[in-house]
Amino acid sequence: MTPENTKYLVETYPHLYRETFYFECGDGWFDLLKELSEKLEPLFAPYRERHSCRIVQVKEKFGGLRYYTGFYPSEESKKIEAAIEEAEKKAWVTCEVCGEPGKVRYGGWISTLCNKHHMEGSPEE
């Protein structure tokens, strides 16, 4: 993800991401991550003093979005898990490069790409 998009998410959702956080996925998933962060921020905010109550990693793996948390409050667990699951499902049909509709493509690297970016080749290939 570009430094500009990373900076936006880190600064806009400080209860989720540390200043040194970075995202290991393409900009096409920026809107998904922004929407997810909007849902999670108020759930994590009351626990901001707990260092482990944050997001620890966001990445692409085998064409899908992986969103890993540290500790989170048990009373909010169903809401948190549902929001993360929804974003991860959306990523399976969203081009990681541009955000347009896509699907999982197999080759040297498994990626979720639209037709255009599949034809151009995944950035990782």
pLDDT for res 51? 62
Q: Which two tokens stand for residue 68?
A: 């890993």
Enclosing domain of residue 48: 3-91
In a domain, 86, yes or no: yes
In a domain, 104, yes or no: no
Q: Are 43 and 82 in contact (CB under 8 A)?
A: no
Tokens 């482990």 belong to 52
pTM tops 0.95:
no
pLDDT at 83 over 60: yes
Q: What is the DSSP string of 76-116?
A: GHHHHHHHHHHHHHHHTTB-TTT-SB-EEE-SSS-EEE-HH
pLDDT at 12 over 90: yes
In a domain, 69, yes or no: yes
Angle at which helix 30-44 crosses helix 77-91, to 10 degrees, equals 180
Predicted confidence (pLDDT) per residue in 49-79, tens digit: 766 778 999 999 999 999 998 876 677 788 9
Straight-line distance from the first to the last Cα atom of the chain, in angstroms, rounded to the nearest whole number: 17
pLDDT at 99 over 60: yes
In a domain, 61, yes or no: yes
Residue 125 pLDDT grade (very low, low, confident, very high; cuts 50, 70, 90): very low
In a domain, 123, yes or no: no
Based on the structure, what is the number of domains in the chain?
1
Predicted confidence (pLDDT) per residue in 102-124, tens digit: 999 997 889 999 999 998 875 54
